Amino acid sequence: MRLDKFLGESTDLSRTDARKVLKSGEITVNGEMVNQGSHVIKEGDVVLWDDEPLALIGLRYIMLNKPAGYECSLKNSAYPSVMMLLDVDKRDRLRTVGRLDVDTTGLILITDDGQWTHRIISPRHQCDKVYVATLAEPLPDNAEAIFQAGILLNGEDKPTLPAVLERIDERTARLTIQEGKYHQVKRMFASLGNLVQALHRERIGSLVLDDSLEPGESRYLTPAEVQELAAGS
Protein backbone atom coordinates (compact mmCIF):
# COMPACT_ATOMS: atom_id res chain seq x y z
CA MET A 1 0.00 0.00 0.00
CA ARG A 2 1.21 3.54 -0.78
CA LEU A 3 2.38 5.55 2.22
CA ASP A 4 -0.18 8.33 1.62
CA LYS A 5 -2.99 5.73 1.62
CA PHE A 6 -1.48 4.08 4.70
CA LEU A 7 -1.57 7.44 6.54
CA GLY A 8 -5.19 7.90 5.53
CA GLU A 9 -6.08 4.43 6.85
CA SER A 10 -4.11 4.59 10.08
CA THR A 11 -4.72 8.18 11.27
CA ASP A 12 -7.44 10.83 11.31
CA LEU A 13 -5.40 13.04 8.96
CA SER A 14 -7.11 14.53 5.94
CA ARG A 15 -5.32 14.01 2.61
CA THR A 16 -4.00 17.57 2.69
CA ASP A 17 -2.73 17.23 6.26
CA ALA A 18 -1.16 13.85 5.49
CA ARG A 19 0.73 15.48 2.61
CA LYS A 20 1.96 18.27 4.94
CA VAL A 21 3.10 15.75 7.57
CA LEU A 22 4.98 13.83 4.90
CA LYS A 23 6.62 16.92 3.44
CA SER A 24 7.74 18.12 6.86
CA GLY A 25 9.67 14.88 7.39
CA GLU A 26 7.66 13.62 10.39
CA ILE A 27 7.29 10.10 9.00
CA THR A 28 9.93 7.38 9.14
CA VAL A 29 9.75 3.90 7.62
CA ASN A 30 12.12 1.37 9.18
CA GLY A 31 14.09 4.24 10.73
CA GLU A 32 14.50 6.25 7.49
CA MET A 33 12.65 9.53 6.91
CA VAL A 34 10.30 9.17 3.92
CA ASN A 35 8.49 12.16 2.40
CA GLN A 36 7.06 10.59 -0.76
CA GLY A 37 3.40 9.56 -0.61
CA SER A 38 4.06 7.06 -3.39
CA HIS A 39 6.52 5.06 -1.24
CA VAL A 40 5.17 1.51 -0.95
CA ILE A 41 4.68 0.09 2.54
CA LYS A 42 5.19 -3.66 2.82
CA GLU A 43 4.08 -6.07 5.51
CA GLY A 44 6.41 -5.84 8.51
CA ASP A 45 7.54 -2.26 7.76
CA VAL A 46 7.68 -0.07 10.88
CA VAL A 47 6.04 3.29 10.21
CA LEU A 48 6.47 6.02 12.83
CA TRP A 49 4.92 9.48 12.99
CA ASP A 50 6.93 11.67 15.36
CA ASP A 51 8.32 8.45 16.84
CA GLU A 52 4.82 7.03 17.49
CA PRO A 53 4.08 3.75 15.68
CA LEU A 54 1.19 3.73 13.19
CA ALA A 55 -0.87 0.66 12.37
CA LEU A 56 -3.78 0.07 10.03
CA ILE A 57 -7.13 0.23 11.76
CA GLY A 58 -8.84 -3.10 11.14
CA LEU A 59 -12.56 -3.72 11.37
CA ARG A 60 -13.93 -2.79 14.77
CA TYR A 61 -16.72 -4.39 16.80
CA ILE A 62 -17.88 -2.51 19.88
CA MET A 63 -20.57 -3.03 22.51
CA LEU A 64 -21.94 0.11 24.14
CA ASN A 65 -24.23 0.42 27.13
CA LYS A 66 -26.42 3.11 25.60
CA PRO A 67 -27.75 5.71 28.03
CA ALA A 68 -31.09 7.44 27.42
CA GLY A 69 -30.87 10.76 25.59
CA TYR A 70 -28.53 9.60 22.79
CA GLU A 71 -29.51 9.03 19.17
CA CYS A 72 -28.37 6.09 17.01
CA SER A 73 -29.00 7.77 13.68
CA LEU A 74 -26.39 10.06 12.16
CA LYS A 75 -28.81 12.70 10.93
CA ASN A 76 -28.91 16.06 12.68
CA SER A 77 -31.04 15.71 15.74
CA ALA A 78 -31.80 17.48 18.98
CA TYR A 79 -29.88 14.70 20.75
CA PRO A 80 -26.18 13.83 20.63
CA SER A 81 -25.16 10.72 18.71
CA VAL A 82 -24.06 7.55 20.53
CA MET A 83 -20.82 7.90 18.54
CA MET A 84 -19.89 10.84 20.79
CA LEU A 85 -19.53 8.34 23.61
CA LEU A 86 -16.69 6.50 21.85
CA ASP A 87 -13.09 7.58 22.20
CA VAL A 88 -11.85 6.07 18.92
CA ASP A 89 -10.16 7.19 15.71
CA LYS A 90 -12.09 7.30 12.43
CA ARG A 91 -15.42 7.53 14.22
CA ASP A 92 -17.13 8.56 10.99
CA ARG A 93 -16.64 5.03 9.62
CA LEU A 94 -18.66 3.44 12.39
CA ARG A 95 -22.39 2.65 12.32
CA THR A 96 -24.75 1.16 14.84
CA VAL A 97 -26.08 -2.35 14.17
CA GLY A 98 -29.77 -1.46 13.95
CA ARG A 99 -31.11 1.30 16.15
CA LEU A 100 -32.47 1.94 19.60
CA ASP A 101 -34.86 4.81 20.26
CA VAL A 102 -33.44 7.86 21.97
CA ASP A 103 -35.08 6.88 25.28
CA THR A 104 -34.12 3.17 25.06
CA THR A 105 -31.11 2.04 27.07
CA GLY A 106 -28.77 -0.96 26.98
CA LEU A 107 -26.92 -3.05 24.45
CA ILE A 108 -26.08 -1.48 21.11
CA LEU A 109 -23.40 -2.82 18.77
CA ILE A 110 -21.24 -0.50 16.70
CA THR A 111 -19.02 -1.54 13.81
CA ASP A 112 -17.53 -0.63 10.45
CA ASP A 113 -18.20 -4.14 9.09
CA GLY A 114 -21.35 -3.85 6.94
CA GLN A 115 -21.57 -7.58 6.16
CA TRP A 116 -21.47 -8.49 9.84
CA THR A 117 -24.22 -5.93 10.52
CA HIS A 118 -26.35 -7.46 7.80
CA ARG A 119 -26.07 -10.95 9.32
CA ILE A 120 -27.23 -9.67 12.66
CA ILE A 121 -30.14 -7.50 11.57
CA SER A 122 -31.48 -9.52 8.66
CA PRO A 123 -34.77 -11.23 9.71
CA ARG A 124 -33.56 -14.29 7.73
CA HIS A 125 -30.91 -14.90 10.38
CA GLN A 126 -33.52 -14.77 13.18
CA CYS A 127 -31.15 -13.34 15.74
CA ASP A 128 -32.82 -12.87 19.15
CA LYS A 129 -33.07 -9.39 20.61
CA VAL A 130 -34.04 -9.39 24.26
CA TYR A 131 -35.63 -6.36 25.92
CA VAL A 132 -36.95 -5.59 29.38
CA ALA A 133 -39.99 -3.32 29.17
CA THR A 134 -41.49 -1.39 32.07
CA LEU A 135 -45.17 -0.79 31.40
CA ALA A 136 -47.75 1.79 32.47
CA GLU A 137 -50.52 -0.82 32.88
CA PRO A 138 -50.57 -4.39 34.24
CA LEU A 139 -50.13 -7.14 31.65
CA PRO A 140 -53.30 -9.05 30.68
CA ASP A 141 -53.43 -12.74 31.65
CA ASN A 142 -53.13 -13.87 28.03
CA ALA A 143 -50.19 -11.57 27.07
CA GLU A 144 -47.81 -14.52 26.49
CA ALA A 145 -50.23 -16.13 24.01
CA ILE A 146 -50.85 -12.84 22.16
CA PHE A 147 -47.11 -12.23 21.63
CA GLN A 148 -46.53 -15.87 20.67
CA ALA A 149 -49.30 -15.74 18.05
CA GLY A 150 -47.88 -12.61 16.38
CA ILE A 151 -49.43 -9.15 16.30
CA LEU A 152 -50.58 -7.22 13.24
CA LEU A 153 -49.10 -3.80 13.93
CA ASN A 154 -50.66 -0.60 12.57
CA GLY A 155 -49.51 0.04 9.03
CA GLU A 156 -48.01 -3.46 8.49
CA ASP A 157 -49.36 -6.15 6.17
CA LYS A 158 -47.96 -9.17 8.05
CA PRO A 159 -48.10 -10.02 11.75
CA THR A 160 -44.91 -9.97 13.82
CA LEU A 161 -42.98 -13.23 14.12
CA PRO A 162 -43.75 -15.27 17.26
CA ALA A 163 -42.23 -13.49 20.25
CA VAL A 164 -41.57 -14.84 23.73
CA LEU A 165 -42.91 -12.81 26.63
CA GLU A 166 -41.70 -13.60 30.12
CA ARG A 167 -43.52 -11.87 32.94
CA ILE A 168 -41.17 -10.41 35.57
CA ASP A 169 -43.92 -8.74 37.58
CA GLU A 170 -47.29 -7.30 36.64
CA ARG A 171 -45.81 -4.22 34.94
CA THR A 172 -42.42 -5.57 33.82
CA ALA A 173 -41.73 -8.11 31.10
CA ARG A 174 -38.79 -9.59 29.23
CA LEU A 175 -39.56 -9.82 25.52
CA THR A 176 -37.55 -11.76 22.93
CA ILE A 177 -38.10 -10.80 19.30
CA GLN A 178 -36.25 -11.67 16.11
CA GLU A 179 -37.13 -8.65 14.02
CA GLY A 180 -36.40 -4.97 14.27
CA LYS A 181 -39.38 -3.10 12.86
CA TYR A 182 -39.60 0.61 13.63
CA HIS A 183 -40.49 1.06 17.35
CA GLN A 184 -41.43 -2.61 17.31
CA VAL A 185 -41.56 -3.31 21.05
CA LYS A 186 -43.46 -0.13 21.87
CA ARG A 187 -45.93 -0.80 19.06
CA MET A 188 -46.47 -4.40 20.20
CA PHE A 189 -47.39 -3.26 23.70
CA ALA A 190 -49.41 -0.34 22.30
CA SER A 191 -51.54 -2.88 20.42
CA LEU A 192 -52.58 -4.20 23.86
CA GLY A 193 -53.46 -0.64 24.92
CA ASN A 194 -50.32 -0.43 27.05
CA LEU A 195 -47.50 2.10 27.14
CA VAL A 196 -43.80 1.29 27.46
CA GLN A 197 -42.40 3.64 30.09
CA ALA A 198 -38.84 2.32 29.96
CA LEU A 199 -37.12 -0.04 27.56
CA HIS A 200 -33.74 -1.69 28.02
CA ARG A 201 -32.00 -4.15 25.67
CA GLU A 202 -30.02 -6.78 27.51
CA ARG A 203 -29.06 -9.29 24.82
CA ILE A 204 -28.50 -9.72 21.05
CA GLY A 205 -28.12 -13.36 19.96
CA SER A 206 -25.58 -14.92 22.33
CA LEU A 207 -24.19 -11.60 23.44
CA VAL A 208 -25.32 -10.27 26.81
CA LEU A 209 -24.66 -6.66 27.79
CA ASP A 210 -21.54 -6.70 29.94
CA ASP A 211 -22.68 -5.75 33.44
CA SER A 212 -19.34 -4.09 34.17
CA LEU A 213 -20.20 -1.37 31.63
CA GLU A 214 -21.82 1.69 33.17
CA PRO A 215 -24.26 3.64 30.95
CA GLY A 216 -22.15 5.38 28.29
CA GLU A 217 -19.25 2.92 28.58
CA SER A 218 -18.14 0.57 25.81
CA ARG A 219 -15.69 -2.21 25.07
CA TYR A 220 -14.42 -4.07 22.02
CA LEU A 221 -15.93 -7.51 21.40
CA THR A 222 -13.60 -10.49 21.59
CA PRO A 223 -12.93 -12.36 18.30
CA ALA A 224 -15.01 -15.27 19.66
CA GLU A 225 -17.98 -12.95 20.33
CA VAL A 226 -17.70 -11.48 16.83
CA GLN A 227 -17.72 -14.93 15.26
CA GLU A 228 -20.52 -16.33 17.39
CA LEU A 229 -22.81 -13.45 16.46
CA ALA A 230 -22.00 -13.77 12.76
CA ALA A 231 -22.74 -17.49 12.94
CA GLY A 232 -26.18 -16.57 14.25
CA SER A 233 -25.81 -18.02 17.73
Which of residues 9 and 101 has its CB atom nearest to ligand URA in the complex?
A: 101
Which of residues 5 and 181 has its CB atom nearest to ligand URA in the complex?
A: 181
Cα(173)–Cα(139) distance, rounded to whole angstroms?
8
Say how many CA atoms lie within 13 Å of 231 toward its Cβ.
9
Which of residues 125 and 183 has its CB atom nearest to ligand URA in the complex?
A: 183
Cα(82)–Cα(95) distance, rounded to whole angstroms?
10
The residues that touch ligand URA, with contacts defined as CB under 6 A, are 100-101, 104, 183-186, 199
Which residues fall within 8 angstroms of residue 203, CB to CB, at 6 or more apart?
Answer: 107, 128, 129, 130, 209
Shortest Cβ 131–ligand URA spacing (Å) = 6
Shortest Cβ 64–ligand URA spacing (Å) = 14
209 close to 65: Cβ distance less than 8 angstroms: yes
Cα(31)–Cα(18) distance, rounded to whole angstroms?
19
The residues with which 90 forms a beta bridge, in sequence order, are: none
Which of residues 18 and 133 has its CB atom nearest to ligand URA in the complex?
A: 133
Cα(135)–Cα(38) distance, rounded to whole angstroms?
61
Which of residues 177 and 221 has its CB atom nearest to ligand URA in the complex?
A: 177
Shortest Cβ 92–ligand URA spacing (Å) = 23
178 close to 85: Cβ distance less than 8 angstroms: no
- Burial class of residue 202, CB neighbours in 10 A (0-12, 13-18, 19+): middle
Shortest Cβ 70–ligand URA spacing (Å) = 12
Shortest Cβ 213–ligand URA spacing (Å) = 18
β-strand pairing of 52-53 with 95-96:
unpaired
- For the question of residue 101 being annotated catalytic, the response is yes
Catalytic residue chosen out of the listed positions 4, 45, 92, 101: 101
Residues recognised as catalytic: 101
